[in-house]
Each structure stands twice: as structure tokens, then as C-alpha cells.
């Protein structure tokens, strides 16, 4: 935590990933090609993944920028089969209520082309789960609170970097968001100032993995980009 009494003190820019202007387009093209192969999946292999790979990807995610550099996130990496089963049981209970009408007709209609449902076998099949928590406010050592800024934006950026880091290792992910997710605080032993925002199964795709045809549609550049 940065102390509120700490003064601004500039230091030289640390090591920078410099790419020459002549090579920038090549790097951009190569990165685009790699990210074009990223797909969210629900069919995971049970092939083991070394814990250090997960740890390193999370360390990369924690390099994300954040409001006032307060880094309002916490990641819980879970391999334990019993804990994964408990999370699956609780998540499926929430999902059954959602798909039984709690989500509303419009939301359920939007999900129909994706083919999702209340059963979540990927939670127990994937070798790792990463549960992402957003720290709504900070806690000092004496238990007093201090405000965090731009929490959803900061955690969203870190999550994007985590997905990219895992994809760079050849791994697949799924951004799973049962609602509500308060059960995760108890299961993951996290304090009340942290809000669970996502369960992310991580692993290799199974040999018969599929994706929804609708997920292959991406908006055109003209839909997503304006240049002045």
C-alpha cells in the first residue's frame, strides 16, 4: 500500500520493451495472429499444468495498471479437487435459479446461441481454477478502511492480461460469472472487503472440444474503431 504521506518522487524508467518503428508492424501482426486463436472453451482436458505456470501468469496479471497504483485484486488458484467440487456445487445451485427464470427472458435469449446451461462440469474437469477477487476498499494494519479507485476497470485490465498470459502458454480459459458469487468468499477464505468477480477454469482443450458457432462472429474494424 502506498502511504498517503508518501510524496511524488520520479525515478528513471526501468527496463522497457523497446521495438523499433521498423519492426512494430511485424510484432503487431504476430500478436494479432496469436490472439486470433484465443477461444473460450468449456471442454477441458485433465492434463496436469505445473503450478509455476499459473503463478507466473498471475504475476504477469499483477503488473497491470490500476487506479492510484492500489492494485485492488486478489487471485486464488485452486487445484484441490474437493474445493473445486464445492465450488461447482454452489455455482450450479446459483445457475439453476438463473436458468429457471431468474436471469430474465432477454438475458436468457442472448445466451441461447452460446449454448450455456446450469451444468458446469468444466469447474471440476479443468486442472486449475483461478478465482478473481476485487478489493472494494483497502484495509490498513489497524483495521481501518481506505478508498480504492477505479476498481472494476483495474481488475478488468488485470483479468485481460491474465487471459493473455495463459493463452501465450497454450492454455485455454473460460470467464465464468455465476450470480451471486458471495459463496466464494467463504470457500476461498477471503475477507469481506473483497468481491468475487469471476471463476476462471484453466487448462488445455479436450480432444473433442467445441465452441459455439456464434462465438466465431467478431465485429468488423469499422464497428469497433474510429480514427481521427
DSSP string, 100-147: IIIT-HHHHHHHGGGT--S--THHHHSSEEEEEEEESEEE-TTS-EEE
pLDDT band (50, 70, 90) for residue 197: very high
Using alpha carbons, select from 87, 111, 117 the residue that is nearest to residue 181.
87
**pLDDT computed for residue 30 by the predictor:** 97
Q: CB of 140 within 8 A of CB of 146?
A: yes
Tell me how many domains the chain contains: 1
CATH code of the domain in which 88 resides:
3.40.109.10
Decide if 198 contacts 133 (C-beta within 8 A). no
The answer to the question of residue 214 being in a domain is: no
Domain assignment of residue 24, yes or no: no
Q: Tell me, what's the pLDDT at 180?
A: 83
Q: Is the pLDDT at 4 greater than 80, yes or no?
A: no
Strands 194-203 and 145-147: unpaired
pLDDT digits (tens, 9 = 90+) for 41-76: 999 999 999 999 999 999 999 999 999 999 999 999
- Residue 185 located in a structural domain: yes
C-alpha atoms less than 13 angstroms from C-alpha of 179 in its C-beta half-sphere: 8
Q: What is the mean pLDDT of residues 195-211?
A: 97
Nearest to residue 193, comparing CAs of 140, 142, 134? Answer: 134
Domain assignment present for residue 114? The answer is yes
Question: pLDDT category, 178, cuts 50, 70, 90?
Answer: confident
Residue 107 located in a structural domain: yes
> Is residue 220 domain-resident?
no
Q: How confident is the model at residue 101 (pLDDT cuts 50, 70, 90)?
A: confident
Structural domain including 148 reads: 40-208
Cα–Cα distance between 97 and 120 in angstroms, integer? Answer: 14
Q: What is the pLDDT of residues 113-169, one digit of tens each?
A: 999 999 999 999 999 999 999 999 999 999 899 999 999 999 999 999 999 999 999
More confident: 73 or 178: 73
Return the higher-pLDDT residue of 101 and 159: 159
With bands split at pLDDT 50, 70 and 90, how would you rate the model's confidence at 5?
Answer: low
Instruction: Show the CA angle centred on residue 218, arms to residues 124 and 207, nearest 5°.
Output: 35
What is the overall mean pLDDT for the chain?
95
* In-domain check, residue 228: no
Query: Does residue 20 belong to any structural domain of this protein?
Result: no
Amino acid at each position: 500500500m502506498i502511504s498517503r504521506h508518501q510524496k511524488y518522487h520520479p525515478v528513471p524508467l526501468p527496463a522497457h520493451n523497446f521495438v523499433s518503428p521498423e519492426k512494430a508492424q511485424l510484432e503487431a501482426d504476430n500478436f494479432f495472429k496469436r490472439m486470433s486463436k484465443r477461444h473460450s472453451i468449456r471442454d477441458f482436458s485433465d492434463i496436469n499444468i505445473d503450478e509455476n505456470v499459473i503463478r507466473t501468469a498471475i504475476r504477469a496479471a499483477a503488473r497491470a495498471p490500476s487506479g492510484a497504483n492500489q492494485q485492488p485484486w486478489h487471485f486464488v488458484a485452486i487445484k484441490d479437487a474437493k474445493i473445486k467440487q464445492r465450488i461447482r456445487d454452489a455455482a450450479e445451485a446459483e445457475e439453476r435459479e438463473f436458468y429457471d427464470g431468474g436471469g430474465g427472458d432477454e438475458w436468457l435469449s442472448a445466451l441461447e446461441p452460446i449454448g450455456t446451461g446450469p451444468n458446469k462440469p468444466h469447474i471440476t474437469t479443468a486442472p486449475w481454477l483461478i478465482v478473481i477477487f476485487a478489493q472494494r476498499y483497502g484495509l490498513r494494519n489497524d483495521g481501518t478502511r481506505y478508498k480504492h479507485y477505479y476498481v472494476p476497470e483495474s481488475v478488468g485490465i488485470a483479468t485481460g492480461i491474465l487471459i493473455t498470459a495463459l493463452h501465450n502458454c497454450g492454455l485455454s480459459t473460460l470467464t465464468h460469472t455465476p450470480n451471486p458469487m458471495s459463496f466464494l468468499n467463504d470457500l476461498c477464505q477471503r475477507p469481506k472487503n473483497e468481491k468475487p468477480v469471476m471463476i476462471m477454469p484453466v487448462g488445455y482443450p479436450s480432444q473433442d472440444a467445441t465452441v459455439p458457432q456464434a462465438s466465431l462472429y467478431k465485429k468488423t474494424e469499422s464497428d469497433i474503431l474510429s480514427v481521427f
